[in-house]
Amino acid sequence: MTSMERRPLVHHDPAPAEAAGPDGRPPRPPIAITTAAAARRHVRAFVGERWRSPAGPPTEQSMIDLILVVSELVTNAVRHGGGIAGFDVALTPEGVRLSVRDHSAAVPVGPHGPGALPRAHEGNGYGWPLINRLSSRVDVERRAAGGKTISVLVPLT
């Protein structure tokens, strides 16, 4: 596989009303995400530009939770998944949906799902339990072409 084939991209899933920006231009083209810092910056900007809710902007705590989940998902893909194969972010009425694709078919060890906590810390870190605790939905899908996608929904209030 060449380095160009492994170049991670960010894909946005704009809602039909978001197909064009406020100025009528199409959305920005995908950008490469290779680090947790780049992913955090991108998600902060994405939410800041596109979040619209009658309840107002997301709370500071919900943004902190979102950024923690972003950091852990990307860091896990880099450290344990052979690198980032793709990064998607989309807004839903419930919050932010994140999907991180990596190059490893190995599924994270431990419970999956909202609020899932390990019985005891086994030395592998706290990232996966944190992702599960802060997300209202967690899905892990092995990809037919290799690797896996971890998708989460992080509520914004």
Report the C-alpha gap between 145 and 16 in whole angstroms. Answer: 29
Interacting residues of 114 by C-beta distance below 8 A, sequence separation 6+: 132, 133, 135, 136, 137, 138
pLDDT higher than 50, residue 49: yes
CATH 2.30.130.10 holds for 10-17+26-155: no
Alpha-carbon distance values, 13 to 17, 56, 78, 143, 155 (Å): 11, 22, 23, 19, 17
> What percent of the chain shows pLDDT beyond 90?
55
Quick check: 105 and 148 in contact, CB under 8 A? Answer: yes
For residues 74 and 35, the answer to whether their CB atoms sit within 8 Å is yes
103-120 in b/e form (b: 16+ CB < 10 A) is bbeeebeeeeeeeeeeee
pLDDT one-digit tens code per residue, 86-104? 999 999 988 999 999 999 9
Query: Over 57-115, what HEC string results?
Result: CCCHHHHHHHHHHHHHHHHHHHHHCCCEEEEEEEEECCEEEEEEEECCCCCCCCCCCCC
Tokens 């899908």 sit on residue: 141
State the residue for tokens 């946005």: 12
Predicted model pTM: 0.76
16 vs 133, residue with greater confidence = 133
Query: Average pLDDT, whole number, for the chain?
Result: 80
